[in-house]
Amino acid sequence: MDYITLAHGAGGVEMLELLEKLIFKRVDDKLKRVEGGVGIDIADDAAAIPLPDGRYVVVSVDSYTVNPIFFPGGDIGVLAASGSINDVLMLGGKPIAMLDTIIVEEGFPVKDLEAVIESMLKVLREENVALIGGDFKVMPRGQVDKIVISTTAIGISDNPIIDKPAPGDKIFVSDYVGDHGAVILLMQMGLGRDIEEISTGMLRSDVKPLTKLMVPLLSKYRYCVNAARDPTRGGLAGVLNEWAEKNELLIYISEDKVPIREPVKRYSEMLGIDPLYLASEGVAVLSLKPECADEVVEYAKKLGFGNSRIIGEVKQTDMFKGYVAAETSIGGLRLVEPPRGEIVPRIC
């Protein structure tokens, strides 16, 4: 680890090891959170700060550097607004405000910048999230690649979700997984115009805020949710492996139950990529108490998330602590290893 590689930003093993070495080990335990809150002691995509009235401020900060900046289904503006909103939602917060920082390269077309900003503002208007501040910088040509957007999203929570899957929990996904990663991969390979599903709009990024799912679902079923994430970098495999390792549990899924679009399956197989590692930008993954899991699925479908389903469960075992296992379509088992390397660079 003498030099930084693209893999260090991919959300997988290399990134977690780097953060542990450079940051987590160097911060005193008492400074990893505000007292009574949630911070890097949990290492989620957001943090929670307690308020005097018993509620919490939920905060998330993220940077976005997708290539290409315009892609089927969205652009970097939609991605920045949606991604940070979703990070607040997954910690159990209701998003209320956002700040942004935009850095553009000298020579960047003003019409493209206007389109990106309008996309971001459109999401905030539709979600009733206030834009309360930000910053704008221009870098000399060649010192930044086109545009980078950083966002800080703020929300309020009565009861933050501290990722703690429990034995017996059911693993829930709200929609098809891997769409965003597949689209960005195919675009980066220059295949966007050649892939019929992309050109006709059948395959496009799933980027969107999950407010319409998470706010009502948590209002009614917060007691049922032990963990929540959106599977961005590292995909579904990354989320499940992190849960399994941190909690010393086995997570068992059925490949046939994981919702993956046929084009994503087909092109992933063609390129030798497991779609479980491809990013989603509009999907919720939840660990649910077994007694209410089916109710949550039906409720999510009523909210418009018709592909919601249970794909597996959490198990307690002495032999396979910290692993994710998948039952294959022919009845065998395979380990779903933590994501390694850089499958798709600059996806978000």
What is the total count of domains within the chain? 2
Choose the final residue of a domain: 157, 179, 213. Answer: 157
CATH number assigned to the domain comprising residue 256? 3.90.650.10
Task: Quote the pLDDT of residue 299.
Answer: 98
Residues 153 and 213 in one domain: no
Choose the final residue of a domain: 129, 157, 185. Answer: 157
Residues 121 and 201 in one domain: no
At 7-24, the pLDDT tens digits run: 888 888 898 889 899 999
Residue 147 located in a structural domain: yes
In the predicted structure, residue 223 carries a pLDDT above the cut 90: yes
Task: Quote the pLDDT of residue 319.
Answer: 81
Please tell me the pTM assigned to this model. 0.94
Residue 49 located in a structural domain: yes
Residues 176 and 216 in one domain: yes
Mean pLDDT of the chain: 94
Task: Quote the pLDDT of residue 56.
Answer: 98
In the predicted structure, residue 138 carries a pLDDT above the cut 90: yes
- Which residues, in sequence order, are CB contacts of 31 under 8 Å at separation 6+? none
Residues 207 and 67 in one domain: no
CATH number assigned to the domain comprising residue 39? 3.30.1330.10
Which amino acid makes up residue 171? I
Average pLDDT over residues 316-336: 90
At 141-177, the pLDDT tens digits run: 999 999 999 999 999 999 999 999 999 999 999 999 9
Domain that holds residue 198: 170-335
Residues 135 and 111 in one domain: yes
Task: Quote the pLDDT of residue 12.
Answer: 86
Q: How far apart are CA 179 and CA 263, in angstroms?
A: 9
Residues 195 and 323 in one domain: yes
In the predicted structure, residue 107 carries a pLDDT above the cut 90: yes
Split at pLDDT 50, 70, 90, the class of 194 is: confident
Task: Quote the pLDDT of residue 218.
Answer: 97
Task: Quote the pLDDT of residue 51.
Answer: 97
Residues 121 and 180 in one domain: no
Residue 340 located in a structural domain: no
Choose the final residue of a domain: 111, 135, 157. Answer: 157
Q: How far apart are CA 171 and CA 257, in angstroms?
A: 11
In the predicted structure, residue 28 carries a pLDDT above the cut 80: yes
Region label for 168, one of left (φ > 0), alpha (ψ between -120 and 50) or beta (otherwise): left
